[in-house]
Amino acid sequence: MSRRRQQDDPGSLDLLLDTICNIFGLLVFVAVIAAVLARARADTPVHVPSPIPLPEPAVAPVLDAPDIDPQELGAQIHSARAQIADLEEALARVALPDPGSEDTGVDVEHEIESLQAQIQAEQDRRTVEMRLPRRRAVAGRIPAQLVVKHDRLYIINDWRGWSRLRNPQAERCTFWTTWNTEAVDADASSWIEHEPCWRAGGQDLERLVKLLVDGGIDLSQPDAAARIRVALRVLDPKTHVASIKVDPDSFDTWSPVRSAVLQRRVPYDVAPVTIGDDLIFHDRIRSGTASAQ
């Protein structure tokens, strides 16, 4: 009885077969869907924009050449040749003579130096070291007066020997009343001592300084910048302050003075001053704290 029941039992393979068939059918269905989508995408038209038509290049109209009279054309050519001959003759009259000749009529070296001076002045004006226009107190500094008049730099006093003194500040009034004879007419200059100049401090000097007409340093000369630097070596960067007074007639030419003062690293103060045709510079030095830039 037990063997017959085992042969009649259908077993469990039917469930496995049913599962396999379902999976296969699902795969077939997915493949069909994928094929349909791929075909639909391939059949979708792609929109390609049509090219923008460019305008045709403009063609310049061709003008008919006017009729020219041969005689009139010949007259115009003759007139043009005459004008060329006149210009060549005028050019020959103004042309420089041969430099090798004895009498050239033109000082070539002077012209070259003048041009070099103009170029150097333009470079100095463009390359001036700038500082903020800020005034600050410089206690204990001794003002050294620099006057610019008629495009000339006048260093009023003779500061030579300043650095050789043990206590130069105590001799400041002596230096203020010792004139620089290369810039000042000592016989026509004077001072008034309103208050004694004590060694420990305090002074009130009123001065009338007669400037020399041809004295000082001519700022228009090619070697002006070098001469200014040499002249300012008498100033001590540790104790002096450059008090620059500029007359309105020299506003355009005093920049080399400022450049040389900056190179010397001396504090400076600039103020306008009006000096008459008599070239008398008037100032008054009183006790106090100087200011500079």
SS3 content of the chain, % helix, strand, coil (to 5): 40, 20, 40
Q: Return the pLDDT at 163.
A: 85
CB-based burial, 191-221: b 16+ in 10 Å, e otherwise: beeeeebeeeeebebebebbbbeebbbebee
Q: 165 CB contacts (<8 Å, ≥6 apart)?
A: 171
Q: Is the pLDDT of residue 17 over 60?
A: yes
Q: Which residues on adjacent β-strands are paired with residue 210?
A: 280
Instruction: Please provide the average confidence, as pLDDT, over all residues in the chain.
Output: 77
Of 155, 151, 270, 122, residue with least CA distance to 219: 151
pLDDT of residue 58: 52
| Residue ranges of E strands in the chain | 136-138, 142-149, 152-155, 190-195, 204-210, 217-218, 240-246, 268-272, 280-286, 290-292
What's the distance, CA 291 to chain centroid?
28
CA atoms within a 13 Å half-sphere pointing along the CA-CB vector of 9: 9
Spell out the domain ranges in the chain. Answer: 136-292
Residue 93 — pLDDT band, cuts 50, 70, 90? low
The secondary structure of 200-255 as a DSSP string is TS--EEEEEEEB-TT-SEETTSTTHHHHHHHHGGGS-TTTEEEEEEE-GGGTTT-H
Cα–Cα distance for residue pair 268/291, rounded to 1 Å: 8
Q: Give the span between the Cα atoms of 243 and 145, in whole angstroms.
A: 5
Strand partners, 292: 136
State percent of the chain over pLDDT 90. Answer: 33
Which of residues 116 and 184 earns the better pLDDT score? 184
Which pLDDT score, from 0 to 100, does residue 21 have?
Answer: 85
pLDDT at 290: 54
- Single pTM value for the model: 0.55
Q: Is the pLDDT of residue 125 over 90?
A: no
Tens digit of each residue's pLDDT (9 = 90 or more) over 268-284: 989 999 999 999 999 98
Q: What order do you get walking across the sheet with 142-149 strand by strand?
A: 217-218, 152-155, 142-149, 240-246, 268-272
Least confident of 67-76, 111-120, 201-210, 257-266: 67-76
C-alpha atoms less than 13 angstroms from C-alpha of 79 in its C-beta half-sphere: 6
Lowest mean pLDDT among 67-81, 91-105, 158-172: 91-105
DSSP letters, 160-188, are TTTTTSSSGGGGHHHHHTSB-TTTB-GGG
Q: Give the residue-averaged pLDDT of 192-208.
A: 85
